[in-house]
Structure 1
Amino acid sequence: MPTILNHTYKSILFVLLILLVSTSLNGQNVLYDYIELSSKNGSTESFLSEIESQTDIVFSYSNNLCFKDSLNLPIQSGMVREVLDAIFVSCPSNYTVRGEKIIIHPITGDKKKYVVKGYVIDKHTKEILIQANVYEPEILLGTVSNNFGFFSITLPEGFAHLASSYVGYQNQHHYLNLTKDTTIYFWMEPKEELDEIAVLGERVPGKVKSSRAGIIDVPIEQIKKVPVFLGEVDIVKSIQLLPGIQSGGEGFSELYVRGGGPDQNLVLMDDVPIYNSSHLLGFFSIFNADAVNSVRVIKGGFPARYGGRLSSVVDIRMYDGNSEEFKGTASIGLLSSRLAVEGPLIKDKSSFSVSFRRTYFDILTSVWQLKEADKSRYYFYDFNTKLNYKLSKRDRLHFSTYLGKDRYGISYNEQTIEIEQPDGSKVSRKEYDESDVGWRNYVGSVRWNHIFGEKMFANTTLTYSDYRFFIDQSSNYVSDGSWSKGSQNYYSGIRDLSAKIDVDYLPSPKHYIRFGGSMINHTFYPGIDVQLREITSSTPIDTTFGGTQMYRQEYRFYVEDDFHLFPRLKMNIGGHFSLFQTESNKFYWSAEPRLSARYLIKDNLSVKLAYSQMTQYMHLLRTSVVAMPTDLWLPVSDGIAPMRASQSALGLEYEISKGFNLSLEFYYKELSDILAYKETAGYFDFASDWQSKLTAGSGQSYGFELLLHRKMGNLSGWFGYTYSKSTNQFDELNNGLEFPANFDRTHDVSIYASYKFSKKMDMGVTWAFGTGNPITLSETKYYAPQLPTTEVPNKSSYNQFINQRNSYRMPNFHRLDIGFNFSKDKPWGSRLWSVGLMNTYGRQNPFFLYFSDVENEQTGDIERSLKQFSLFPIPIPYVRYTVKF
């Protein structure tokens, strides 16, 4: 019996001890109390005595601890741990805390190190937080959470203070006594009021700032407050307001980054490439903001893990879904309605996120056109789903899909025709000439996350991406006394199947190693099919042109290391290697070095340097300067080489004061083997192969970007300015002379301001200015009479003379947009009214220019003038109603 009682007594004491230690470790540790010494000069004993007199701390120490009679400390105030480290800098020591007692003992030999790993997660929704900062503020070591919220950091044995910060969330802290490898979770609590809004990415403690130049993390909550056309929250339109990133024209959602074209941007949705990210011919992007977790834009200093494009990477991650409770958002606006629902499937195991958006133009127009002979219809929709399942503490599965489609159709030229039946009778029916245009994206991915050991995280992904578009045009006419129908069917697209693996390895806090590889099977669908058939038969009687499928293989490998070379010098060095197979089994290859470096001049001032090479194995052939469904993706071939680019950047980042930043970055980029149509070739020139219609050239782009940004307070926002120059040179174009690129814009200014009047009301204002885009205009129109030998000698025509390509510029662009948000909490959730006015002062920005010939009534002469067409010449209001439940 005494033995049993003794055992029970010890067990109870052990449990109480564990609870006591646990409580003390998770509470505020006395090592992190703030103190201020009376002087920097003194002895070891006097400093310890002064600390004891200022606090309730009692010191206990080993006889082997080194004491000095005279010390000159580098600091006079700070946390107790910082002061102790300064006192014992010549004989490093460890500290053990027992309540108010600190035991100091010298470190003998190499100090053991342990790994702390885990996830950074939203406390309420259990949504993972991407690129959250995780750091030890005292010894100035840190890392970031990856795209799945995972982090790993190696710290010395003993007491450690580990903190995490993320924009829009309160900082969280863990106080640990490390005696073994440990797993922890940062449960981040959202702030009711944002102290700062970060556009350049959250500012981390001085010694753990990113080594990367040209990277922008865009908070999704800020995107939702930017005034946008017809109240449609648009991720890409918000990105366009940042320095170095431009739109192709008023209203367009394409990206032109540092002189590059829209095809040179790698747009990723949960690691899957998107080949057309626009709705409504480029006026809206396909990304439903209600389904998006994070947005990252990389415009220079590309990490080695990205490849395949020349100008930028837009990495978009979708919500996993709330794993605690069911929540939803519903919204209705002038153009579309949206619905998003998320919630748990299996408690603490699985969650889902589903969102849907659709326009109702087709429904409204069908009512307006009930009595009209000509009818038109248009709609687009987006459908996002994402599921995740926690297999174990080390394994997780993610499933995500996206379905999106645009379709526009018009029926016109109504005719009543008579069709003879087999029995000789005739039947009347109405026929229309018709035109249909459509394009769609089908995207899917399956991802498996696995943690190997304590320092390695692997993500294995299978992806599917299918982009298609079509144009169907048909007309009815009489041929040899019978009705016939001529049709032109254009069908094209690209489909990818890929498998890849990405590995994050963190051997120590000073190294973050990433490596991986992928294999992609591309299928290209170029083709035009023109057919003639009788109206009473579906069998074609003539086929004039057709296309064939092309199958191509692509392989990619990369390795990179983000490391501290010196305390103030951090670097990222890596390489990206790729192979691409052509139609004759020839391989193009590329070895692309990547380098970024950051040097801290002061804790609030850093200089950054970056160099990267990029290769692109596919081209987008365009029929105009704006996005059209006839734009055609085609691979490199034996005769068409891949496009290549090299870019250098030098930047300065200065924190003027808390929440007030200034950044300046210079860049220079060279491009080779870019493509353009020859001056004598046309898109629908069926007589020649598509490769023979193209010519290759080179280009260069340089400039600088300035951003002055206030991130805190009720009034926040930024001022951005970009100066850039982009030129192209083709031996077979413009007489071989250099000319401005189609997307060259010398000056670009953007101002965004947000003011929070109260918890219930805020206001957003944007103003943008841009130099007019270059265009090609004819300089002379001359009479070209027909030869006398022609059948109709009296007829004549005119030709136009073009002296130089892109030698004129459209008028400058500028526009002011204003929006207000009115929110109110309800018992079931909240409601939000969003109202605003686009193009507030009615600026008539040019959409395109054209020549108009008008006859002078007095002289009879034909007078020619240049005119412009404005897409939105007047102020356009918008309203949207949103509820959250």
Structure 2
Amino acid sequence: MLKKLRSSLFGLFLGFLLILPFKIQGQNEQKTPVPLISYIKTLEDKFDVKFSFINGDLEDITIAVPNNLVTLEEILEYIASQFQLKADKLSQRYYTLTKRTLVTICGKVLDNFAENTVPGATVEVFGTEIAFTTNPDGTFTLEDIPRNGVLKIRYLGYNTKYIGVENLIKSGGCPQILMAQHYEQLKEVIVYKFLTTGIIRESDASITLNTSEFGILPGLIEPDILQTVQALPGIKSIDETVSDINVRGGTNDQNLILWNGIKMYQSGHFFGLISAFNPYLTDKITVIKNGTPATFGDGVSSVIQMETDNELSDYFTGGAGFNFISGDIFGQIPITERIGLQFSARRSTTDFLNTPTYNKFFDRAFQDSKVTNQNNIAVDDDILRSENFFFYDFTGKLLYDISDQHQLRLNFISITNNLDYTENNLTDLETTNSLLDQNNLSVGGQLLSQWTNRLSSNLNVYYSRYNLDAESLFGNQVQLLFQNNQVLENAFKLDTDYELSDKLHLHSGYQYIETGIVNTTILTQPQFNSEIKGVIRIHAPHTEIGYRSDGNKFIGKAGVRFNYMENLGTFTKFLVEPRLNMSFRLANYLRGEVLGEFKSQTTNQIIDLEQNFLGIEKRRWILSDDNTLPITQSKQGSMGINYEKNNFYLGLEGFYKKVDGISTSTQGFQNQNQFNGEIGSYDVKGIEFLINKKGNNYSSWLSYTYNKNDYTFETIIPNSFPNNLDIRHTLTFAGTYSYKNLQVGLGANFRTGKPFTEPEDGNLALDTSVFPVRINYKSPNSSRLPEYLRVDASAIYKFDIGRNVKANAGVSILNMTNRKNSLNKYYRVNEDNEIEAVESISLGITPNVSFRIHF
């Protein structure tokens, strides 16, 4: 009996538990939704009150009040919170209902099937800086936003959705917002991502650097554009500068450097130790070593093309930062829906603040050379030095979307270096003063047009002016040497692209470039005046056809560029330059490529003696005259393979390049041939190898480059000898690692020494039978400097200052082992008719610190 009673009680208790949730749910159950205006009339009758409101504010709103809300205050509080209204009690019987101007809303973003949440979607109030990203469950809340505003919700892979804040409020509560997935048929793109984030090797063998996605490289705490490109195989700087980048054995003047389509004649600050281009507005950098598209002329070694962001921004973005050398600021400002402005400015702190980094850079530029006499004994003069040095750069870009089919872009850049440097030799009581003013000013306009779905065009017009004034007062302020180098360039370029079919497209265009260069030299003792002017005009139609097979088994481009050149009063010349670029699948994950090109250039840099201007600036631009300096022409071919699978990349490329029309005055000779102006050529045979393994938070790589680079000068004995840039072996091993907000990088760079020429041994070293006394040299470039080794490290920590303000702090150490690498060595005769060896030494251990904010 007791057992039956217990069973009955247990059954009743269980039934009560099962019924209880339904009873509770029923108490909170909402009624069927009714129009809000009708519901308010019901409240007036039920509670004997009167409401004052504007019908337009409440129409189209329906409401279902939960049953558990019974008092008038509870019901009004619920209505106000659901529909962002304000309920005011005027008296015991009279109330008002009005809309709030600033409201708080919430919602949940889902896909269009209402099945999957969309975390990380950007929800912004259109036309303002108010923005938020959805939580992991797809929800968001925005406070104090305009009631008449519009929300813009976007996420990669979905169509952007616009919804009025008022419409969201009328839905009540936190409604679901459904986003439609974006479907687009895309052609497969073959790219290889390596080294660090933001560096991509394209299917046409060009390298793309996206600065907004850029990670970290050893020794760099900021994405210095021209320092970054030196991390790529086949690209280096023999003297550790960005103004002397050597691509596959070529000199720096053989690189075509473009900024928004404008040719740059100045690329560095602090005498080449720092890039002159702000990386934070530069959206994309393209580096081409071979297989150059027909649209690019000039630059027989490479093309380095920089492009700033070309899209209008919906809201203001920008940033600022400083390091131990300079400070900068940049921003993108939306003016209207169709007009925007970009700007950047940077200035050095070197003229009012001495830092460890500045002191090391200063030593590298002016002091850090070792002078020894013919007995290899150091020559230590007691020298007192003083300097006033600073640099700055500005860029600006106006973006105007004339219509959906036509975009106008106006570009401006200004780069300046100024130096006043004095040496007082306390031993022989001599004073030497050098002044340097170097600047580049360029303005240009681009009109981008999409005429049809298949036809587009790019019209580019620009004016560029480069000026170098260098003055040296020496011999106790008696002898003055002044040099001026000025380059003026005007250009008109039109490029068109037409899709003949889904697989075939045609790229054609025409370019007109007029370049004028003036070189002025004034020497007071002995008196000498010289002014050399020249103008070259180039007309260059070009065309190129591209083909892409199904599944990208074969991707190819073949083109030709026609150059009609005229140097006024000197020569006219017509050159045909074919270009070839092919990529094809060899097997799964393995592709081969064949590249080839003919190129030419009419501008070069002559290199003065190191001792001019205390070694501060020794390069001046000149024009080819087809006599003392012919048009420089190159032919290059290469073959390579690329393999990538599971974040493992391996690339191997062999190439051969021959460059004709070079002069000893443009190659930096510092031996018996430096004054001859002989004309010759050089050829380079090389191999570039890269292996890279990446994981979720690390990347490690090993690169190796072999170059055999030889000159040929028919009038020099011997006819063939190693190039001044003949670096046979270059090896780089580096890695990066990320842990949460911390990124670190460590790398080592090794290369064999560059060639140089030594004097003859013993008494044969000096020729005293001539005046001035002359050095007798051994065979050109028959000696080599010691091997070069440098270890660099860097670290960056990222953190948030506020909801829309991000920051990072970085520290780097260049040459952390403090190894004294020899960069160059040459010889001179002093006042006592003795031979002195002057050896340029690399940067010592160089720390740098930076802090940046982005908003």
Instruction: Mark yes or no: TM-score above 0.5.
Output: yes
Aligned to 1:632: 620
Compare 594-603 and 459-468 and name the one that shifted more. Answer: 594-603
Aligned to 2:852: 882
Distance 2:705 2:610 in 1: 22
From 688, 703, 708, the counterpart of 1:705: 688
1:849 and 2:825 are equivalent in the alignment:
yes
1:590 and 2:579 are equivalent in the alignment:
no
1:380 and 2:428 are equivalent in the alignment:
no
From 498, 501, 504, the counterpart of 2:497: 504
- CA positional deviation for 1:576: 0.8
Distance 2:825 2:562 in 1: 44
C-alpha distance 549-223 of structure 1, shift in aligned 2 (>3 A):
farther
1:519 and 2:512 are equivalent in the alignment:
yes
Distance 1:553 1:590 in 2: 13
SS of 1:240's equivalent?
Answer: helix
Aligned pairs for 1:542-561 (under 5 A) are: 544-561=528-545
1:408 and 2:419 are equivalent in the alignment:
yes
Distance 1:447 1:648 in 2: 33
Aligned to 1:246: 236
- CA positional deviation for 1:527: 1.4
1:359 and 2:348 are equivalent in the alignment:
yes
Alpha-carbon contact 1:458-1:502 (below 8 Å) kept: yes
From 390, 400, 407, the counterpart of 2:401: 390
Alpha-carbon contact 2:258-2:264 (below 8 Å) kept: yes
Distance 2:461 2:834 in 1: 62
- CA positional deviation for 1:799: 5.2
Aligned to 2:566: 581
Aligned pairs for 1:425-444 (under 5 A) are: 434-444=433-443
Aligned to 2:449: 450
Alpha-carbon contact 1:198-1:711 (below 8 Å) kept: no
* TM-score normalized by the length of structure 2: 0.69
1:739 and 2:721 are equivalent in the alignment:
yes
Identity of aligned residues (%): 23
Distance 1:201 1:123 in 2: 34
C-alpha distance 781-584 of structure 1, shift in aligned 2 (>3 A):
farther
C-alpha distance 442-865 of structure 1, shift in aligned 2 (>3 A):
closer
SS of 2:820's equivalent?
Answer: coil
SS of 2:271's equivalent?
Answer: helix
From 535, 549, 570, the counterpart of 2:555: 570
Distance 2:125 2:308 in 1: 14
1:201 and 2:191 are equivalent in the alignment:
no
Distance 1:717 1:352 in 2: 39
C-alpha distance 611-374 of structure 1, shift in aligned 2 (>3 A):
closer
C-alpha distance 803-355 of structure 1, shift in aligned 2 (>3 A):
same
- CA positional deviation for 1:606: 1.1
Distance 1:286 1:435 in 2: 22
C-alpha distance 253-225 of structure 1, shift in aligned 2 (>3 A):
farther
Distance 2:834 2:423 in 1: 34
Distance 1:603 1:595 in 2: 24
1:310 and 2:300 are equivalent in the alignment:
yes
From 752, 755, 772, the counterpart of 1:774: 755
Distance 1:853 1:530 in 2: 21
Distance 1:825 1:739 in 2: 57
Alpha-carbon contact 1:321-1:344 (below 8 Å) kept: no
| Paired letter, 1:648 | G
- Report Cα offsets for 1:243-265 as digits up to 9, x if no partner: 11111223555211112111111
- Report Cα offsets for 1:203-247 as digits up to 9, x if no partner: xxxxxxx3x23x111232465622447x56421111111111111
Aligned to 1:695: 678
SS of 2:822's equivalent?
Answer: coil
- Report Cα offsets for 1:433-487 as digits up to 9, x if no partner: 742012111111101111112211111111111111111234697xxxxxx9653
C-alpha distance 530-863 of structure 1, shift in aligned 2 (>3 A):
closer
C-alpha distance 819-475 of structure 1, shift in aligned 2 (>3 A):
closer
* TM-score normalized by the length of structure 1: 0.67
1:599 and 2:588 are equivalent in the alignment:
no
- CA positional deviation for 1:658: 2.4
Distance 1:494 1:394 in 2: 36
Aligned length: 646
Aligned to 1:174: 182
Aligned to 1:220: 211
Aligned to 1:467: 466
Aligned to 1:608: 593
Alpha-carbon contact 1:681-1:693 (below 8 Å) kept: no
From 813, 822, 840, the counterpart of 2:788: 813
- Report Cα offsets for 1:668-705 as digits up to 9, x if no partner: 1112121114999999x9xxxx9x95221121111111
Alpha-carbon contact 2:514-2:536 (below 8 Å) kept: yes
| Paired letter, 2:471 | D
Distance 2:727 2:667 in 1: 23
- Report Cα offsets for 1:755-792 as digits up to 9, x if no partner: 1111x2111222211111111111324276978xx9xx
C-alpha distance 664-624 of structure 1, shift in aligned 2 (>3 A):
farther
Distance 2:533 2:485 in 1: 9
Aligned to 1:838: 814
Distance 2:704 2:758 in 1: 29
From 871, 876, 881, the counterpart of 2:842: 871
Distance 1:265 1:681 in 2: 20
Aligned pairs for 1:244-393 (under 5 A) are: 244-320=234-310, 323-347=313-337, 349-364=338-353, 375-393=386-404
Alpha-carbon contact 1:845-1:870 (below 8 Å) kept: yes
| Paired letter, 2:683 | Q
SS of 1:263's equivalent?
Answer: helix
- CA positional deviation for 1:199: 2.9
From 741, 744, 759, the counterpart of 1:763: 744
Alpha-carbon contact 1:242-1:750 (below 8 Å) kept: no
1:644 and 2:633 are equivalent in the alignment:
yes
Larger Rg: 2
Compare 261-270 and 799-808 and name the one that shifted more. Answer: 799-808
From 456, 480, 491, the counterpart of 1:487: 480
Distance 2:768 2:676 in 1: 28
Alpha-carbon contact 1:320-1:351 (below 8 Å) kept: no
Query: What is the RMSD computed on CA atoms of the aligned residues?
Result: 4.1
Alpha-carbon contact 1:197-1:711 (below 8 Å) kept: no
SS of 2:781's equivalent?
Answer: coil
Alpha-carbon contact 1:456-1:504 (below 8 Å) kept: yes
SS of 1:346's equivalent?
Answer: coil
Distance 1:291 1:681 in 2: 38
Distance 1:725 1:623 in 2: 26
C-alpha distance 738-785 of structure 1, shift in aligned 2 (>3 A):
closer
C-alpha distance 253-233 of structure 1, shift in aligned 2 (>3 A):
farther
| Paired letter, 2:418 | R
C-alpha distance 850-460 of structure 1, shift in aligned 2 (>3 A):
closer
Instruction: Return 5+ residue gaps in structure 1 as ranges.
Output: 1-25, 31-121, 127-161, 165-171, 179-183, 185-193, 203-209, 416-430, 478-483, 533-541, 791-795, 855-861
Aligned to 1:804: 779
